[in-house]
């Protein structure tokens, strides 16, 4: 083949892979999604007009104000642990890629972050306590009702010195520290408040070490939904889809607990790690540049599990994200003692590169990164975010990822992320987008109470707990599209049935969308990243 025809062939391949997606539209909708998840008194600028005020007395049971924040998924409970992680990832998205966002979307992202941080500040406003959850998940999941109608118990759960919760307090510290960087120029006073409170939350987490699921009363509320199995107990975050899904669909909580306990006993052999303490310290180091947090990482890393090279990242396991985050300081040439974090970050990236000799993360036949257990898109979006962020760090320091016999450059990581996101947006065997409202074909029957029930404006009459069952069982599309919501996605065979009852595939979560915001911001500015001919 002549060089001319080889060039034509390469150009044809490049054009085939070149993006046909409107990343700006997808970004806008991925941020809009959070307005559909809001709890509390909605602002006049609320764009998801089918939603109304809800949970206006949250916290009253304990004599505190815990209104606001986000519902985590398709239910009406406010789980503090995944909400804090969502906030961290939304903030990290803006920190790394905010400068690439259109100005209006950067403002919308900051508003979404502040809706969360205003709530998180309330959760740590009482000395000696951190409020970690509002709502009895058992009673909530036994109902299929709108958040505006919700009449189930709004039980308040907290951790204290006597019953610690380092995972929640540590993630809250990370969230507030990361958010303080977002607001540094927008609102310096608010930024300082966030940073000071992040330090308070971290001090609580580090002083009173322990898991909130170790307390019987708390365990009844947070397990099997959002126990931190990888923070202080042994398990596997890839089964987190079993965590918060139940309700009028008759989902068996007993089965969920059996699955969790089975994994807890088998996968990690009871090994204890405290990844949220390192994660919180790393974010406080990044936000404050205070050497005391660098000292904490250096002095406690081995004790707290930094040497556990665990190739996971999500609300339950911060290891891969921690390695990427901390490696930045090493790559900038400032701290040689942090070299192991780059080595571990390299190792994680190598599992995503087909050409490397590392054991690889599973992919579907259609090319989607796949982890068993359901709610798979949380792994797709969070790992895609790490791919792009690490590529950015490597590029700025003129380095590559060491994968043994090969060196992986930033463009390879960017291309892998692009393949994942393009699959999510419609380049897949089902020829459908997994983001509601994006593309010509997308999920119509998502597992989400507010979306699947008629809005208060169209149906002002109260819909009681069990009266929503008919809507849950209906084969009709949801009357209120939750625009921007990304569902759990297809199974390992690339098949998606669009079944409201199949929560593992059809339920959206805030922590699916949060890292996606940063990924889409990157592709708005770099739609053909990784496809440059050399």
Active site residues: 447, 498, 507
Query: Residue 157 in contact with residue 132, Cβ under 8 Å?
Result: yes
Rounded CA-CA distance 515/316 in Å is: 15
Tokens of 294: 């660098």
Structure tokens at 272: 């204890």
CB 394 within 8 A of CB 331: yes
Q: Is the peptide bond before 32 cis (omega within 30 degrees of 0)?
A: no
Contacts of 256 (CB under 8 A, 6+ apart): 224, 242, 243, 245, 246
CA distance 227 to 54: 26
Separation CA 464–CA 470 (nearest Å): 12
SS3 of residue 133 by DSSP: strand
DSSP 57-84: TTTGGGTS----SB--SSSS-EEHHHHH
Place of tokens 């790559």: 331
Cα–Cα dist 517/534, whole Å: 30
Residues with Cβ within 8 Å of 311's Cβ and at least 6 positions away in sequence, in order, are: 319, 320, 347, 348, 351, 361
What the block records as the tokens of 329 is: 């300081």
Judging by beta carbons within 10 Å of its beta carbon (0-12, 13-18, 19+), is residue 220 exposed, middle or buried? middle
- DSSP labels for 322-376? HHHHHHHHHHTTS-GGGHHHHHHHHHHHHTT-TTSSS----B-TTS-B--TTS-T
Q: Which of 146, 150, 156 is nearest to 58 (CA)?
A: 156
Which residues sit opposite 158 in a β-bridge?
Answer: 131
Tokens 């990343």, located at residue? 23
Closest CA to 67 of 105, 119, 141: 119
């Amino acid at each position: 083949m002549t060089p001319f025809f080889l060039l034509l062939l390469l150009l044809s391949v490049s054009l085939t892979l070149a993006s046909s997606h409107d990343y700006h539209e997808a970004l806008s909708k991925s941020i809009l999604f959070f307005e559909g998840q809001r709890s509390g008194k909605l602002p006049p600028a609320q764009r998801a007009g089918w939603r109304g005020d809800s949970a206006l007395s949250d916290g009253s049971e304990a004599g505190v104000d815990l209104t606001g924040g986000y519902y985590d998924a398709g239910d009406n409970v406010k789980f503090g642990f995944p909400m804090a992680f969502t906030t961290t990832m939304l903030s990290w998205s803006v920190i790394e890629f905010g400068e690439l966002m259109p100005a209006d979307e950067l403002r919308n992202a900051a508003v979404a972050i502040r809706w969360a941080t205003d709530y998180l500040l309330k959760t740590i406003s009482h000395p000696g306590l951190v409020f970690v959850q509002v709502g009895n998940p058992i009673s909530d999941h036994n109902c299929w009702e709108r958040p505006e109608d919700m009449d189930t118990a709004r039980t308040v759960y907290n951790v204290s010195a006597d019953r610690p919760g380092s995972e929640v307090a540590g993630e809250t510290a990370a969230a507030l520290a990361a958010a303080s960087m977002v607001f540094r120029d927008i609102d310096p006073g608010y930024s300082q408040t966030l940073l000071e409170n992040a330090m308070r939350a971290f001090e609580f987490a580090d002083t009173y070490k322990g898991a909130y699921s170790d307390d019987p009363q708390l365990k009844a509320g947070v397990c099997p939904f959002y126990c931190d199995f990888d923070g202080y107990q042994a398990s596997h975050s890839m089964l987190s889809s079993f965590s918060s899904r139940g309700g009028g669909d008759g989902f068996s909580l007993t089965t969920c607990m059996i699955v969790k306990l089975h994994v807890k006993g088998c996968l990690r052999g009871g090994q204890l790690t405290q990844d949220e303490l390192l994660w919180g310290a790393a974010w406080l180091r990044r936000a404050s540049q205070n050497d005391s947090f660098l000292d904490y990482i250096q002095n406690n890393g081995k004790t707290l599990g930094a040497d556990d090279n665990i190739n996971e990242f999500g609300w339950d396991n911060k290891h891969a994200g921690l390695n990427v985050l901390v490696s930045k300081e090493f790559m900038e040439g400032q701290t040689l003692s942090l070299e192991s974090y780059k080595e571990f970050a390299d190792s994680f990236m190598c599992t995503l590169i087909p050409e490397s000799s590392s054991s690889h993360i599973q992919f579907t036949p259609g090319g989607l990164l796949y982890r068993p257990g359901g709610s798979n898109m949380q792994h797709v979006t969070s790992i895609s975010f790490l791919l792009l962020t690490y590529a950015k760090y490597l590029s700025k320091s003129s380095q590559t990822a060491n994968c043994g016999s090969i060196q992986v450059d930033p463009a390879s990581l960017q291309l892998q992320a692009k393949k994942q996101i393009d699959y999510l947006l419609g380049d897949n065997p089902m020829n459908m987008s997994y983001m509601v409202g994006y593309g010509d074909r997308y999920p119509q029957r998502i597992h989400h109470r507010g979306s699947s029930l008629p809005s208060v404006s169209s149906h002002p009459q109260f819909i009681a707990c069990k009266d929503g069952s008919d809507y849950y069982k209906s084969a009709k599309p949801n009357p209120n599209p939750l625009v921007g919501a990304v569902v759990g996605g297809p199974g390992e065979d690339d098949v998606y049935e669009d079944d409201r009852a199949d929560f593992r595939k059809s339920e959206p979560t805030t922590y699916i969308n949060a890292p996606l915001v940063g990924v889409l911001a990157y592709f708005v500015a770099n739609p053909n990243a990784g496809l440059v001919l050399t």
